[in-house]
Amino acid sequence: MSAETLREAERRGAETLAAAGREEAAQNARLLLCHVLNFNFTDYVLAREDLLSPHDAVRYEELLTRRASGVPLQYLTREQNFCGLSLYVDERVLIPRQDTECLVEEVLRDGARGALLDLCTGSGCIPLALLKHGNFSCALGADISAEALAVAEINRARTGLPLLFRQSDLFSEIPERFDVITANPPYIESAEIESLSVEVRDHEPRLALDGAADGLAFYRRLAAESGAHLKPGGRLYLEIGMSQGAAVASLLEAAAFSDIQIIRDLAGRDRIVKGSMHAGGTSERGAAPL
């Protein structure tokens, strides 16, 4: 292959990705090229007529091939922005999405504070964003996956935020009580997983996707068990699938939560269910608060 300018390499990369059916092909090609060169957008604009070195051309071609095959862009660049934080991501965790920023925004809008627990924490995006932008005195991120927690630890070190971690199957290793519990649990129906995009189906961890037959398995446990881990007046915030609002709200109502609300995202789809646990709503635990 003859030497190309960066502009020519970007154009060729965009054509390659478009031919493979990848969305946002031009943007992806440019971002991959910037990643190879360790350039920001301004650096790239100023250098577009420079020649791509043979070494960088090989690296770029490798990334283009992987992206064309369906590997998500974020797993190739090892980076995703979430609520203003630059987070490390790889195949051990779900890629943080804008939908989940709705959960963070709702917690902040309510002025919630105190001790925070985030279940199914994955990359740690939710508690890290709440520590960065909120008024929490302490935060614990828990996940059943030790590999996911290793990624969350990278992000804790990267952000410098005081997030603690614990490996736990939901509350199995967590006796404490909290002011706020958040969770973005697996909520996709098992039968629907094969119909997801190749990026999600073949590359994101199925453990973080599969919500069992009806997608509600984790919400049943969260509704039943969260009250015993909330201080009186404590709040529970759950991200949900767009058709699950009424079902999850009913589960919280049956578990003696009050002030239950279904919050929609910017597209008008059900995205968050939240509720409060008042004194007397559930049995008290003997363990001290975090």
Q: What is the CATH number of the domain that holds 88?
A: 3.40.50.150
pLDDT of residue 284: 41
Position 215 in a domain: yes
Q: In whole angstroms, what is the distance from residue 279 CA to residue 290 CA?
A: 18
Position 150 in a domain: yes
Q: Do 208 and 271 have their domain in common?
A: yes
pTM of the model: 0.93
pLDDT digits (tens, 9 = 90+) for 8-24: 999 999 999 999 999 99
Position 288 in a domain: no
Contacts of 260 (CB under 8 A, 6+ apart): 249, 252, 253, 273, 274, 275
Contact 20, 68 (CB under 8 A): yes
Position 143 in a domain: yes
Q: In whole angstroms, what is the distance from residue 192 CA to residue 247 CA?
A: 18
Q: Do 174 and 138 have their domain in common?
A: yes
Q: What is the mean pLDDT of residues 208-223?
A: 96
Q: Do 100 and 191 have their domain in common?
A: yes
Q: Do 10 and 116 have their domain in common?
A: no
Position 202 in a domain: yes
Contact 166, 191 (CB under 8 A): no
Token pair for 45: 């604009």
| Count of Cβ atoms closer than 10 Å to residue 188 Cβ | 18
Q: Do 32 and 102 have their domain in common?
A: no
Q: Do 65 and 196 have their domain in common?
A: no
Position 282 in a domain: no
Q: Which one of 39, 69, 99 terminates a domain?
A: 69
Q: Do 168 and 220 have their domain in common?
A: yes
Q: Do 90 and 33 have their domain in common?
A: no
Assess whether pLDDT exceeds 90 at residue 282. no
Q: Do 61 and 203 have their domain in common?
A: no
What would the DSSP string read from start to end of 121-133?
Answer: -TTTHHHHHHHHH
Split into its structural domains, the chain has a count of 2
Q: In whole angstroms, what is the distance from residue 176 CA to residue 167 CA?
A: 14
Q: In whole angstroms, what is the distance from residue 187 CA to residue 212 CA?
A: 8
pLDDT digits (tens, 9 = 90+) for 71-98: 999 999 999 999 999 999 999 999 999 9
- Cα separations in angstroms, 23 against 17, 67, 201, 203, 211: 8, 10, 16, 16, 27
Q: What is the mean pLDDT of residues 187-198?
A: 94
Closest to 173 (Cα-Cα) out of 140, 198, 150, 148: 140
* DSSP letter assigned to residue 72: -
Contact 131, 158 (CB under 8 A): no
Q: Do 141 and 95 have their domain in common?
A: yes
pLDDT of residue 122: 98
Q: Do 65 and 127 have their domain in common?
A: no
Position 151 in a domain: yes
pLDDT of residue 94: 97
**Helical segments of 20-53, H only:** 25-37, 41-47
Q: Do 46 and 90 have their domain in common?
A: no
Half-sphere exposure at residue 162, Cβ-oriented, CA atoms within 13 angstroms: 8
Token pair for 170: 């939901």
Residue 243 lies in domain: 82-277
Closest to 252 (Cα-Cα) out of 275, 225, 284: 275
Position 286 in a domain: no
Q: What is the mean pLDDT of residues 125-147?
A: 97
- Three-state secondary-structure class, residue 166: strand
